[in-house]
Amino acid sequence: LQVSMDRIVAIKCLAPKYAQNDKFRERFLREARAVARLNHPNIIQGIDVGDSNGVHYFAMEYIDGPTVGELLKRGGALDEKRALNIVTQISRALQHAFNHGIIHRDIKPDNIMLTREGVAKLCDLGLAKLPKDTGDASGTRPGASMGTPYYIAPEQARGEQNVDTRADIYSLGSSFYHMVAGEVPFVGQSAADVISKHLTEPVTPPRVKNPLVSGGVDWVIVKMMQKAREDRYQTPTELVRDLEAIAAGGSPEGYQQAAQQKSGALPKLRRGRLMRRTGRFRPR
């Protein structure tokens, strides 16, 4: 309880055995610095950070609700409408972070909290990449991967230093996959096996795992999880546009064209050219 403001807050403390470790202390302070730069309804609000009698602490808003990870452990796949709403909210949070030069780098269901009113809150920015971070300043060594294996973007798995918001989009896509399919995109005997699949194996569309997944959501998730970041959504704003279109009963941009190509249907002009070449087309 924060007596001065008459409100309940959550307090994260760095255990004494980790406080002397530069790596753990830097990660702890990094989260506080990242949250201090952000003010968004879908990002956990930081209140205070400090040191009391040698104990490092970080006070933040208290969320009286579960994480998405906890929901998945309790009951498997979420209702698509609910999952769509959560991912749309977190996409807006990512755009806000992107606007401030911050990359989360550890998007996963356990780092998404839900209030009783259904507001999604992105939390745990301990691995966040801050503006002007490079090399060791970003909390990483060149070639060292960061993130959680089940949701990690390929470029993070390779330990690349120039990761950007598209890595967060991939990890959010992996989380979205888990929400609607009821299982993670890739499994393996070890973390290395899972990471290898993120690097090399095409993702099985979530609709294969759960036929209740709509075509539009299936298409969006597969696009979010493309191996090459140039093939994903380039910004969270582009992603939000398609998610909102689905929620409104429409289709994501490019979905209908992709569906036509998959079914073998050809645009009229292209069909005309083909028929002319085969002699079956006779212009009037």
pLDDT tens for each residue of 87-143 = 999 999 999 999 999 999 999 999 999 999 999 999 988 888 988 665 444 444 444
Q: How much is the pTM?
A: 0.82
pLDDT tens for each residue of 8-50 = 888 778 777 777 788 877 777 777 777 878 899 999 988 777 7
In terms of domains, do 113 and 150 share one?
yes
Max mean pLDDT among 10-19, 38-47, 75-84, 258-267 falls in 75-84
Token pair, residue 276, equals 């002319």
Q: What is the 3-state secondary structure (H, E, C) of 199-255?
A: HHCCCCCHHHHCCCCCHHHHHHHHHHCCCCHHHCCCCHHHHHHHHHHHHCCCCCCCH
Cα 18 from Cα 56, distance rounded (Å): 10
Residue 106 appears among annotated catalytic residues = yes
Residue 282 lies in a domain: no
Structurally, how many domains does the chain consist of? 2
Residue 219 pLDDT level (bands cut at 50, 70, 90): very high
In terms of domains, do 156 and 205 share one?
yes
| pLDDT mean over 44-62 | 79
Residue 266 lies in a domain: no
Assign 76 to helix, strand or coil. coil
Cα 57 from Cα 54, distance rounded (Å): 10
Residue 135 lies in a domain: yes
pLDDT tens for each residue of 138-165 = 444 444 455 789 999 999 999 998 999 9
Residue 5 pLDDT level (bands cut at 50, 70, 90): low
Cα 179 from Cα 221, distance rounded (Å): 11
Residue 10: which CATH number?
Answer: 3.30.200.20
Residue 46 lies in a domain: yes
C-alpha separations of 85 from 93, 120, 180, 202, 270 in Å = 13, 9, 12, 26, 38
H or E element that contains 114: strand 112-114
Residue 245 pLDDT level (bands cut at 50, 70, 90): very high
Residue 279 lies in a domain: no
Residue 79 lies in a domain: yes
Q: Residue 257: what pLDDT?
A: 74
**Mean model confidence pLDDT for the chain:** 84
pLDDT of 68 over the 80 cut: yes
| The one catalytic residue among 51, 64, 79, 106 | 106
In terms of domains, do 46 and 184 share one?
no
Percent of the chain with pLDDT over 70: 82
- Structural domain harbouring 40: 3-61
